[in-house]
Structure 1
Amino acid sequence: MEVVNHNSEKPHVLIMPSTGMGHLIPIMEFAKLLLCHRDISITLVTVSGQFPASALAKFSDHPSIDSITLPPVDTSDYPPTTMIETIMSVVIKRSLEPLRKVLSEIRPITAFVADLFSTDTLDVAKELALPTYVFFPSTATVLSFMLYLRTLHERIPGEYRDLKEPVQAPGCPPFKGTELIDPLQNRQDDAYRWFLHHSCRYREATGIMVNSFDELETRAIKSLLGGRDYNGDIPPVYPIGPLVKKASSDAGESREECLRWLDGQPRGSVLFVSFGSGGTMTEGQLAELALGLEKSGQRFLWVVRKPQSFAAGAYFGTGAGEDNSPARFLPEGFVERTAEVGLVVPEWAPQVKVLSHEAVGGFLSHCGWNSSLESVVYGVPMIGWPLYAEQRMNARMLADEIGISVSVDYEKGLVPRGEVERVVRLLMESEVGKKLRKRVGELKEAASQALAEEGSSSRRLALLADQWANTKPSARLDRS
């Protein structure tokens, strides 16, 4: 664990994400944009074994970004069935002592940024009187819901999933109890207690940055900026999104097979099917999805991952080194029968490059927020098929509030091939799909304007950068 010394004349921001590429990627983009506004040095603090070395290497390539790795954390005392939110929180909790050593040895530090599951690090930062910020990589809607969770916890005694009426929080659409984020489905589970713990600690931050923009989540952001109806004050909130990878991020690499295949497809004709870096399905569900795609007759590019018994089966690992040929897991003859219209690839595809390709006309997605923002930025309408975490809430919002998605009927369990065929045709062939395509095109332009020099997100990010560069660390910021 090497501690880096920094130029005392240069503002220095420490950032500590919790586990998961879905947390690391937006923080990487936040750091890079921050450096575009001011001459600031940044140090990323991670725990050994929580991220691929290749991803961290890309982050630290920038001359103004350093990386410190804390010692690995043993979580073997938790069973394999433990929810990922608990494991992420425990990893951070058990890393506080080495973090304390790092913070005490690095000087100067202008601000400390923790992500949504790293809030226990605020104690260490406050010991050194550092301004502390929370980076929230998900939606403004989920942030608003979490800030209201303490009130819900006090007012509703039973399980949210058993409620007959929808749950209403400031700035949010009404959500069914069964649609709420996974840790809220069982109040007896440690994950619920951790989630409530983190949501309460957000109020201790100097400010909260959220990966969204005004035109995308108008109602939630208006509520957060107003700061009302949360049973007490909340910190200033800064919508600074959309923070997504750029299509040119990996320029210079050889062109992947799937991109060469897309080059030969008609414009807007291909449905991209991918469930993120952690999402998995059972073997039976994979078969139904395959046969539904086949019945739809639509062109598709499908990222296929080894089936697992639970939806987040790949969150802490990718199965590297295993035989993950898609033909092993798909119905017999499927690959051969669909060879003229489809391509299946194992494990991974360059998602941003795929979504930005002119041949892609739709995205069947798990509704993870990074993927959803990428759909917006590159103007691709969606089919929502949520798997875990906050994805059910995202799917409802993308369909009903934002209007860029249709949803698979997933609530009854196994989604049959006929339902897959229905939603694929709805998106790719119908007037409904045309309306979604028009709407997402409007939001694509709004996203670009938000990040333009005088755009709302760009101005807020510049405000943070200027504040860290020019004023005393204890100063609070105007969020307008």
Structure 2
Amino acid sequence: MADNDHVNSEPFPAVVVMVPFVAQGHLNQLLHLSRLVSAYNIPVHFVSTIHCIAQARSRHRSFSHLSGVSTQIHFHEFPTPPFTTPPPDTSIPFPTHLQPSFDSTLHLRHHVADLIRSLSRKAKRVAVIHDVLMSYVVQDVKSIPNAETYVFQPPPAFYRAASHWENTGGSFPVDLELMNQLPSQDGISSPEFFKFVKLQRSHMNFHVGELYDSSRVIEGKFIEYLQREEISGKTKIWAIGPFNPVLQKVNSTIQETRQKCLQWLDNQPAKSVIYVGKYYLGISP
């Protein structure tokens, strides 16, 4: 089911389909990106499970109310088979208790493919932006001539570059003494989750490029490392963040202003603040 779904007599030059992963940090990032894209009058179709779409709609309405800026996003909710989520247990690897919900996303594949085929008949071009952990779901896009996929990488570029360095060694644009003090990723996730990640990797060979919720001003040397190492298979990498909204209400009008956190940052001495990128799952294909 979709919000504001209608047929336009004239084909759109382009539409965007967002396919987020079913974890809160992932969902929020692509919802913020959807708002930014739709602000340019590009139709955005946001696709997920019934439960996640309910959350996305609520957050979209809340932000529109707080900011006073309304953008149109078409939400599409699709059912998945029922599953049981066990309670969190610190004695078992993360994210074991969430794995049933992760596995349920595999059932979205045909729903998403049908939607994209339908949109491809109404638009000249369909750009599918999907979370890296939803690569299996969008695998049928490669059979649609006027559609293409872009992988969204939720973690910071540093995290992905550091993971690659840990696995392969070699030169890295950070003091190696510091890197050697960071904890290893060994054993931080369950075998079932790594199996899920491996499945996603097997469907990542046809995308146009990768998107990061980051900036070259902040992470330029790590993005350059990813490009130099050709981790993405010679595809393009775009740092198009930060997605987090920076509009606020001032005297009943909307103005693009510096938020308090940015005003505080402006007042700090040069090179006195450390940027820490937080990633919800801590795992990246």
**TM-score, structure 1 as length reference:** 0.44
Which of 390, 394, 402 aligns to 2:282? It is 390
Please list, as runs of the form range in 1=range in 2, the aligned pairs for 1:178-217 lying within 5 A after superposition: 179-180=183-184, 184-185=186-187, 189-199=191-201, 201-217=203-219
Please list, as runs of the form range in 1=range in 2, the aligned pairs for 1:71-470 lying within 5 A after superposition: 71-76=79-84, 81=89, 83=95, 86-87=99-100, 89-106=102-119, 107-108=122-123, 110-129=126-145, 130-145=147-162, 148=164, 152=167, 175-176=179-180, 179-180=183-184, 184-185=186-187, 189-199=191-201, 201-224=203-226, 227-230=227-230, 233-246=233-246, 248=248, 356=261, 389-390=281-282
The structure that has the greater radius of gyration is: 1
Whole-angstrom CA distance in 1 between matches of 2:161 and 2:261: 30
Whole-angstrom CA distance in 1 between matches of 2:279 and 2:34: 29
Whole-angstrom CA distance in 2 between matches of 1:101 and 1:47: 15
Q: Is the 8 A contact 1:28 1:59 kept in 2?
A: no
Tell me how far 1:56 sits from its aligned partner. Answer: 4.5
Tell me the number of residue pairs that the alignment of Structure 1 and Structure 2 aligns: 256
Tell me how far 1:137 sits from its aligned partner. Answer: 2.7
Q: RMSD of aligned C-alpha atoms?
A: 4.2
Q: Is the 8 A contact 1:140 1:220 kept in 2?
A: yes
Whole-angstrom CA distance in 2 between matches of 1:9 and 1:239: 26
Tell me how far 1:201 sits from its aligned partner. Answer: 4.3
Whole-angstrom CA distance in 2 between matches of 1:16 and 1:377: 35
Whole-angstrom CA distance in 1 between matches of 2:250 and 2:104: 31
Q: Is the 8 A contact 1:145 1:172 kept in 2?
A: no
Which of 34, 37, 42 aligns to 1:34? It is 37
Q: Is the 8 A contact 1:187 1:193 kept in 2?
A: no
Number of the residue aligned with 2:16: 13
Tell me how far 1:177 sits from its aligned partner. Answer: 9.0
Q: Is the 8 A contact 2:155 2:279 kept in 1?
A: no
- Secondary structure in structure 2 of the residue aligned to 1:131: strand
Instruction: Return closer, same or farther for 1:128/1:203 CA change in 2, 3 Å cut-off.
Output: closer
Instruction: Return closer, same or farther for 1:388/1:111 CA change in 2, 3 Å cut-off.
Output: closer
- Secondary structure in structure 2 of the residue aligned to 1:133: strand
Instruction: Return closer, same or farther for 1:12/1:385 CA change in 2, 3 Å cut-off.
Output: closer
Where does structure 2 lack aligned partners over 5 or more consecutive residues? 253-257
Tell me how far 1:73 sits from its aligned partner. Answer: 4.2
Whichever residue aligns with residue 59 of structure 2, its letter is A
Q: Is the 8 A contact 2:16 2:43 kept in 1?
A: yes
Identity of aligned residues (%): 14
Question: Deviations for 1:242-279, whole angstroms, at most 9, x for unmatched residues?
Answer: 11122627997xxxxxxxxxxxxxxxxxxxxxxxxxxx
Whole-angstrom CA distance in 2 between matches of 1:172 and 1:66: 42
Tell me how far 1:214 sits from its aligned partner. Answer: 1.2
Tell me how far 1:238 sits from its aligned partner. Answer: 0.4
Instruction: Return closer, same or farther for 1:40/1:176 CA change in 2, 3 Å cut-off.
Output: same
Whole-angstrom CA distance in 2 between matches of 1:194 and 1:249: 42
Whole-angstrom CA distance in 2 between matches of 1:69 and 1:231: 33
**TM-score, structure 2 as length reference:** 0.69
Whole-angstrom CA distance in 1 between matches of 2:149 and 2:267: 33
Which of 68, 73, 92 aligns to 1:65? It is 73
Whole-angstrom CA distance in 2 between matches of 1:104 and 1:205: 17
Tell me how far 1:125 sits from its aligned partner. Answer: 1.9
